C-alpha cells in the first residue's frame, strides 16, 4: 500500500508542473473569462436596498417614492468613486444615458442629507426604462445579457428573449462571416494540400524531405512577418499583379488586398501545413500496392483514387480540415492587416470589446460563443471518427 501510494505521489510530482501551468494559464483565465461574461455583481452589492424594493416592482408601473428613497440611501452609503464608476458602467452598458444621469444624481445626493426627489434632479428618473435597467442589474449577480447580445438577442423589459434590431448589433453577421472565411480557407487548403500530400507521399528520399520542409517553412516564420509579406505581394503594384500584367493575362491590377480573396490567400498559406501533414501521415500509412492492385483489377486512375485512395485517406482530410477550420475561426492579425472592413472576423470584435471599450463581459461572452462552436465541431468530428473506427 505504502509503495503504491509513494509511486502515485511520484507520478503526480512528475505532472505537477504541467497541472500548475494548465491551471494558471489555461483553466483560470478561461474560468475568469466565462464568469466575466455572465456576472454583474457590482450593482447587487452596491445597491442592496434598491434591489430589495425593486424585487417587488412589476417593472411596468411608474416608479414609486419608495424606490427613489432606497436608491438615494444606497447611493449615499457608497463612499469610493471606484464603485460608483463600476455600477455606472454596468448600468450604462444596459441603457445609455446613465453616465450623465448618475454623475448628476451622485453629486446631488452627496450635497444634501435629507430626502430628495430624484425627478427634480433629472426628469429621466421618472422614466420606466432606467428603473428597469437598475432592477435587472440588482435582481441577480448573474446575467445572460452578454451571452444573448453575443448572438444578437436581448431580454425585453418584461424578460422575454427577443432579437436585437439590425442597427444595434452585427455579431451574428460577423460570426457567419467568420465561418464563411474559415470554410473558404479550409476548402482552399484541402484543394491545394491533398495533391501536395499525395506527391510528397509518393516521393522518396531528399525529394520528400524537401517537399515537407517547404510546407513546414512558413511555421518557422512569425505570423506577422508572413502576413506583411503577403501585404507586399498582393498589392496593386505587387509581385503577383505585375507578373500577371507582364504575362498579358490581365490589363488592370486585380484587387487582392483589403478584400476577402487576399484574406483567404494569406490564411491558406499560413494554415496549409495543418492540412498537408495529417493527410501525408495517413497517405504514407496506406500500403503502396493498393493502387497498382486497383489498376490491375480494371480501375482507371480516377476511379482507383475515388474508390480506394480517397476513402482510405478521408480520416486525414477530416482531421486536417478540422485543424484548419478551428484555427482559422480564431484568426485576427491576417484579416486585420489584409482584409477590408467587411472581412473582420469575430476575434476583432472580441478585441474591440476587450481593449477598445473594456467591456470584458461582452468579450468573454463572444469568446464563449466561439468556444462552444469549436467544441461542437470537435464533438461531431469525434463521433464521425469513432464510428469510422468501429466499422473498420
Partner 1 sequence: MTQPYIRFDKVTKAYGDFIVVEDLYLDIAKGEFVSLLGPSGSGKTTILMMLAGFEPPTRGAVIVDEKRIDQLPPHRRNMGVVFQSYALFPHMTVADNVAFPLEMRGVPKANRKQLVDRALDMVQLGTMADRKPSQLSGGQQQRVALARALVFEPAVVLMDEPLGALDKQLREQMQLDIRDLHKRLGLTIIFVTHDQSEALTMSDRIAVFNKGRIEQIGTPNEIYDHPTTRFVADFIGETNLLDGAIETSDANGLIVALPGNKRIRVAAGSGEATGAAVTVSLRPEKIRLNSDAGSENSLPVTILDSVYHGDHLRMVLDAQGTRLIAKADRRFGDLQPGSKAIASFDAADCWLVRS
Out of 197, 308, 349, 365, point to the residue binding partner 1 (CB under 8 A).
308
HSE, side-chain direction, 13 A CA sphere, residue 324: 33
238: number of Cβ within 10 Å: 17
Residue 254 or 314 having the CB closest to partner 1: 314
Cβ 379 to partner 1 shortest distance, Å:
24
Q: Is 311 in the site for partner 1 (CB under 8 A)?
A: yes
* 228 touches 338 (CB < 8 A): no
Residue range at the interface with partner 1 (CB under 8 A); choices 120-128, 295-303, 344-352, 355-363 = 295-303
Q: Is 298 in the site for partner 1 (CB under 8 A)?
A: yes
Cβ 384 to partner 1 shortest distance, Å:
15
| Residues paired with residue 228 on neighbouring β-strands, in sequence order | none
89 CB-contact burial (10 Å; exposed 0-12 / middle 13-18 / buried 19+)? middle
Residue range at the interface with partner 1 (CB under 8 A); choices 31-39, 194-202, 302-310, 361-369 = 302-310
Residue 227 or 313 having the CB closest to partner 1: 313
Out of 255, 299, 333, 384, point to the residue binding partner 1 (CB under 8 A).
299
Cβ 202 to partner 1 shortest distance, Å:
14
Give just the sign of the alpha carbon dihedral 156, 160, 162, 164. Answer: positive
Cβ 287 to partner 1 shortest distance, Å:
7
163-195: buried (b, 16+ CB within 10 Å) or exposed (e) per residue? ebeeeebebbebbebbbebbbbbbebbbebbbe
Q: Which three cell numbers stand for residue 72?
A: 438615494
* 62 touches 128 (CB < 8 A): yes
Residue range at the interface with partner 1 (CB under 8 A); choices 98-106, 300-308, 348-356, 370-378 = 300-308
Residue range at the interface with partner 1 (CB under 8 A); choices 48-56, 195-203, 296-304, 344-352 = 296-304
How many secondary structure helices (H) and strands (E) does the chain include?
21, 2
Under the rule (CB under 8 A), what is the footprint of partner 1?
287, 289-290, 292-301, 303-304, 307-308, 311-312, 392
Amino acid at each position: 500500500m505504502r509503495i503504491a501510494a509513494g509511486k502515485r505521489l511520484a507520478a503526480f510530482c512528475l505532472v505537477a508542473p504541467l497541472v500548475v501551468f494548465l491551471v494558471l494559464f489555461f483553466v483560470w483565465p478561461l474560468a475568469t473569462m466565462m464568469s466575466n461574461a455572465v456576472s454583474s455583481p457590482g450593482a447587487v452589492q452596491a445597491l442592496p436596498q434598491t434591489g430589495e424594493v425593486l424585487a417587488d416592482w412589476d417593472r411596468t408601473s411608474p416608479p414609486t417614492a419608495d424606490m427613489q428613497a432606497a436608491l438615494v440611501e444606497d447611493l449615499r452609503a457608497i463612499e469610493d468613486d471606484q464603485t460608483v464608476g463600476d455600477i455606472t458602467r454596468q448600468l450604462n452598458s444596459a441603457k445609455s444615458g446613465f453616465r450623465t444621469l448618475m454623475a448628476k444624481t451622485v453629486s446631488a445626493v452627496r450635497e444634501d442629507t435629507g430626502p430628495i426627489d430624484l425627478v427634480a434632479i433629472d426628469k429621466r428618473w421618472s422614466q420606466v426604462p432606467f428603473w428597469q435597467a437598475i432592477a435587472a442589474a440588482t435582481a441577480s449577480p448573474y446575467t445572460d445579457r452578454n451571452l444573448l447580445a453575443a448572438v444578437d438577442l436581448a431580454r425585453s423589459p418584461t424578460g422575454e428573449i427577443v432579437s436585437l434590431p439590425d442597427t444595434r448589433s452585427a455579431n451574428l453577421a460577423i460570426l457567419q462571416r467568420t465561418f464563411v472565411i474559415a470554410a473558404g480557407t479550409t476548402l482552399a487548403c484541402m484543394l491545394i494540400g491533398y495533391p501536395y500530400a499525395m506527391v510528397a507521399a509518393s516521393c522518396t528520399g531528399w525529394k520528400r524531405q524537401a517537399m515537407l520542409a517547404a510546407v513546414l517553412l512558413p511555421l518557422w516564420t512569425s505570423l506577422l512577418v508572413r502576413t506583411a509579406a503577403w501585404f507586399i505581394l498582393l498589392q496593386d503594384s505587387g509581385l503577383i499583379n505585375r507578373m500577371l500584367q507582364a504575362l498579358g493575362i490581365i490589363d488592370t491590377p486585380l484587387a487582392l488586398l483589403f478584400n476577402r480573396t487576399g484574406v483567404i490567400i494569406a490564411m491558406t498559406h499560413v494554415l496549409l501545413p495543418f492540412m498537408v501533414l495529417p493527410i501525408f501521415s495517413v497517405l504514407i500509412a496506406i500500403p503502396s500496392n493498393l493502387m497498382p492492385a486497383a489498376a490491375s483489377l480494371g480501375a482507371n486512375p480516377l476511379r482507383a483514387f475515388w474508390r480506394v485512395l480517397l476513402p482510405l485517406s478521408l480520416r486525414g482530410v477530416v482531421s486536417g480540415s478540422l485543424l484548419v477550420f478551428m484555427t482559422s475561426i480564431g484568426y485576427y492579425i491576417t484579416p486585420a492587416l489584409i482584409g477590408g472592413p467587411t472581412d473582420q472576423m469575430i476575434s476583432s470584435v472580441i478585441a474591440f470589446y476587450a481593449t477598445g471599450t473594456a467591456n470584458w463581459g461582452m468579450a468573454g461572452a463572444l469568446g464563449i460563443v466561439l468556444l462552444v462552436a469549436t467544441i461542437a465541431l470537435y464533438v461531431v468530428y469525434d463521433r464521425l471518427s469513432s464510428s469510422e473506427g468501429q466499422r473498420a
